[in-house]
Amino acid sequence: MAEMIEVRNLTRRFGAILAVDRVSFTVGKGEVLGFLGPNGAGKSTTMKMITGFLAPTAGTAVVVGADIVANPIAAKRRIGYLPEGAPAYPDMLPRNFLRFVAEIRGFAGAEAARRIDLAVARTSLSSVMEQPIETLSKGFKRRVGLAQALLHDPDVLILDEPTDGLDPNQKHEVRTLIKALAPEKAIVISTHLLEEVDAVCTRAIVIANGRLLADATPVALAARSRLHNAVRISLASGHDEAEVALRRLPGVAAVERTDDAGDGALLVLPRGGQAIVGEVTDLVRTAGWAVRGLSVERGRLDEVFRTITA
Amino acid sequence: MHSIWVIFQRELASYFTTPLAYVFIVIFLALAGALTFFVGNFFDRGQADLVPFFNFHPWLYLVLIPALAMRLWAEERKSGTIELFLTLPISISAAVLGKFFAAWAFSAIALALTFPFWITVNILGHPDNGVILASYIGSLLMAGAFLAIGAALSALTKNQVIAFVVTAAACFVLTVSGSSIVLGFLAPWAPTAVIDVVASLSFLTHFNAILRGVIEVPDAVFFVSVIALFLFANAAIVELKKAD
């Protein structure tokens, strides 16, 4: 796997505040890296440094061989960037805006037109090409920002909250697009939607107070949850006796009542994250309980996220 | 060079996609006309020249140029487009020059649209068209200097009103620094060298020299230097303040 982005000890200080503190990671071709963290954690600041908007106080980022500090213009050519809030010139038409970006990136005439058409098709923008950007809905504005980032078919895509403010259908479209682009590119997206990490990311990084706290696949991250491999079991009746019986199983650490679905189900937590679904189903069979529902928890990212960043 | 040209085109077109261009040009022409005819006594003087017209340009520019310059960077910073703009593969100097030349070209368009004054004076008499051409060039150079100052100050703030007021004040000080008010204030206590320096910074002094019909090297160099200095400052300020 070729490394497309190499972030080395990236540090940024604003006066007395250390916004980003020696963050290092790499992203290879085909990876979609989810950048997670509470608001103000340093996600956007890190992205601004990788894209060359903000000069690092120390450290650097190398984008497809070009150092963003030493050789910013070469690095910027390889990056497609959607800044937070998808800023675009409000009084321009999307057509003129995309043409401007295409020309700045060195495409002219038929080549520019071909690239604009492709980016517009990928982001389903064709219906609003002649409307001033300021009159567009949030979803369309976001897609104009995405189209702009895709114009030059960059090796590296940096997307700061690409689905923020979109409705569920639009979110789905953007995620489908990101997945379709993923095999050929290195993609970094920041988000505070954990479902998004599950939906599109091959790897996740958790950052809080400017420090990198975790770097793992979403599955490995979820496995850190105390709910990993827990069994949720809901019975027609007799929850109380079942709770007592389940506690006696050797692999079970605790049994909790959960009312998340309104059925007073039991949540059976494993000892040390081991798989206990076998033990539990054996017990269910021998005891002859009337089971209404039984499921295994993969672990919850939001819970892990809270534990890591608290 | 290529990116300066692309930025120049976008910026110049952006004046005309909003009412700004039309409002600016109409007000500029109306004020120029009113001042020339009513305050400058164009007809009563009985002379075939455009002195009463050009005499008011510094004062017109004092109000109108800051309005043109205030949006250059403040608006980009306010709307966040600066982050998009400066992560495109362009240098800061290309960004600064593209914006400046677009604004300067726009003020050149407004200035060129005063051509009816030139036609009028040629119908009424036989003016020295060489002097008039020199005056137009001088006026454009002065507009460029005002714009460069305004562009640099616009990069200091996200607030266009602040950019306007500070630019107007800075331009006013530079315009009148050769006048008897300022020099009279300095004369009793400041050394002669200081007074000479302050007087030599005056836009009015240099502009009036050009109005006499000769573009002397020092006067042209003065305005070009002011432009270069403030564009340099502009790039430094953008680099420093862009992410605030």
| Distance between CA atoms of residues A188 and A51, nearest Å | 11
What's chain B's Rg over C-alpha atoms?
Answer: 19
Interface contact flag, A81 B87, Cβ < 8 Å: yes
> Of the ranges A94-103, A285-294, B125-134, B194-203, which is most confident?
A94-103
Of B6, B88, B242, the CB nearest to A76: B88
Give me the phi and psi of A188, to 5 degrees please.
-120, 125
The answer as to CATH 3.30.70.100 being correct for domain A231-299 is: yes
Instruction: Identify the CA nearest to A233 among candidates A262, A268, A260.
Output: A268
Of A77, A83, A96, the CB nearest to B89: A77
Please indicate whether residue A278 or residue B215 has the higher confidence score (pLDDT).
Answer: A278
A61-77 residues labelled b (16+ CB within 10 A) or e (exposed): bbbbebebeeebeebbb
Specify the amino acid at residue B115: F
| Distance between CA atoms of residues B102 and A26, nearest Å | 41
| Distance between CA atoms of residues B150 and B163, nearest Å | 7
Alpha-carbon distance B80 to nearest alpha carbon in chain A (angstroms):
6
User: Which residues of chain B have a Cβ shorter than 8 Å from any chain A Cβ?
Assistant: 2-3, 6-7, 10, 13-14, 17-18, 79-81, 83-84, 86-91, 242-243
| Distance between CA atoms of residues B25 and B70, nearest Å | 16
Specify the amino acid at residue B141: L
Instruction: Extract the tokens encoding A91.
Output: 């009084």
Instruction: Extract the tokens encoding A272.
Output: 């040390």
| Distance between CA atoms of residues A62 and B112, nearest Å | 49
Alpha-carbon distance A189 to nearest alpha carbon in chain B (angstroms):
16
pLDDT band at B188 (very low <50, low <70, confident <90, very high): confident
Q: For a pLDDT cut of 70, what percent of chain B falls above it?
A: 98
pLDDT band at B113 (very low <50, low <70, confident <90, very high): very high
Interface contact flag, A103 B91, Cβ < 8 Å: no
Domain pair A3-222 / A231-299, same fold: no
Q: Which of A103, A142, A188 to mutate to test the interface with B (most CBs of B within 10 A)?
A: A103
Cβ–Cβ contacts within 10 Å for residue A166, how many?
19
Give residue-wise pLDDT tens across range B16-54: 988 889 999 999 999 988 888 777 777 677 676 777 788
Interface contact flag, A96 B13, Cβ < 8 Å: yes
pLDDT band at B226 (very low <50, low <70, confident <90, very high): very high
| Distance between CA atoms of residues B212 and B179, nearest Å | 18
Specify the amino acid at residue A184: E
B243 chain-A contacts, CB cut-off 8 A: 48, 53-54
Interface contact flag, A104 B89, Cβ < 8 Å: yes
What's chain A's Rg over C-alpha atoms?
Answer: 24
The CATH label, of 3.40.50.1100, 3.40.50.300, 3.30.590.20, 3.90.480.20, for the domain at A3-222 is: 3.40.50.300
| Distance between CA atoms of residues B88 and A106, nearest Å | 11
CB-based contact (8 Å) between A77 and chain B? yes
Give the E-state strand segments of A120-278 in sequence order.
Answer: 156-160, 186-191, 203-208, 211-216, 231-235, 252-258, 265-270
Give the length of chain A.
Answer: 310
List all residues 6 or more positions away from B152 whose beta carbon is below 8 Å from its beta carbon.
B230, B231, B233, B234, B237
CB-based contact (8 Å) between A81 and chain B? yes
The answer to pTM > 0.80 is yes
Mean pLDDT of B117-139: 87
Chain pair A-B, CB pairs under 8 angstroms: 65
pLDDT at B25: 93
pLDDT at B148: 96
B2 chain-A contacts, CB cut-off 8 A: 106
Interface contact flag, A83 B80, Cβ < 8 Å: yes
Interface contact flag, A87 B18, Cβ < 8 Å: no
Long-range contacts of A50-53 (CB under 8 A, 24+ apart): A50/A5, A50/A7, A50/A10, A50/A79, A50/A158, A50/A188, A51/A76, A51/A79, A51/A81, A51/A83, A51/A158, A51/B87, A52/A76, A52/A79, A52/B86, A52/B87, A53/A83, A53/B83, A53/B86, A53/B87, A53/B242, A53/B243
CB-based contact (8 Å) between A106 and chain B? yes
Of B3, B7, B83, the CB nearest to A87: B83
B221-242 residues labelled b (16+ CB within 10 A) or e (exposed): ebbeebbeebbebbbebbeeeb
Instruction: Extract the tokens encoding B143.
Output: 């507009």
End-to-end CA distance of chain A: 34
Alpha-carbon distance A145 to nearest alpha carbon in chain B (angstroms):
9
The label of the residue with tokens 């492709």 reads A118
pLDDT at B46: 67
B95 chain-A contacts, CB cut-off 8 A: none
- Average pLDDT per 10 consecutive residues for chain A, totaling 310 residues: 87 92 94 90 92 94 94 95 94 95 94 95 92 92 94 95 87 91 94 85 91 89 84 84 86 83 82 85 86 85 82
Q: Is the dihedral of CA A164, A165, A169, A170 positive or negative?
A: negative
B99 chain-A contacts, CB cut-off 8 A: none
pLDDT at A274: 83
Specify the amino acid at residue A289: W
Kindly list the domain boundaries of chain A, sorted by start residue.
3-222, 231-299
List all residues 6 or more positions away from A211 whose beta carbon is below 8 Å from its beta carbon.
A21, A22, A23
Interface contact flag, A91 B17, Cβ < 8 Å: yes
pLDDT at A1: 53
Q: Is the dihedral of CA B80, B85, B91, B92 positive or negative?
A: negative
Interface contact flag, A91 B91, Cβ < 8 Å: no
Q: Cα torsion for B123, B126, B128, B133, to the nearest 10°?
A: 10
CB-based contact (8 Å) between A51 and chain B? yes
